[in-house]
Amino acid sequence: MEPTYHQTLDVKGAKCPMPLVKSRKAIGELPVGHILRVIATDRGSVADFQGWVKAAKNVELVAQETTAESGQELYVHYLRRTA
């Protein structure tokens, strides 16, 4: 079941490091407690987001899921701003 979210960031087609750079920026503009849904096509984003939230001060990785859209793998990340 997909978590509830407040905003979506579409970074389909963006290559590393852009999914993470844009997510960092978008999280900063979100109210504390809100959840950002990030839709990426870069497979490396899965491991990188897991590593990032360990280093990040105010981001929590709520969930990650892999889906498909017209034959293309989508990597969806749910991030909560915690502070």
| Residues recognised as catalytic | 16
56 binds other proteins (CB under 8 A): yes
Nearest by Cα to 80 from 2, 6, 1 = 6
Start-to-end C-alpha separation, the chain: 26
Distance CA 20, CA 26 (A): 10
> Among residues 10, 29, 33, 47, which is the contact residue for other proteins, using CB under 8 A?
47
Sequence-separated contacts (24+) of 63-67 with Cβ below 8 Å: 63/2, 63/3, 65/2
Q: How far is the CB of 48 from other proteins (least distance, A)?
A: 5
Q: Please identify, using beta-carbon distances, which residue of 2 and 60 lies nearer to other proteins.
A: 60
Supply the minimum distance, in Å, between the C-beta of residue 56 and other proteins.
6
Q: To the nearest whole angstrom, how small is the minimum distance from the Cβ of residue 4 to other proteins? A: 25
> Among residues 24, 39, 62, 63, which is the contact residue for other proteins, using CB under 8 A?
24
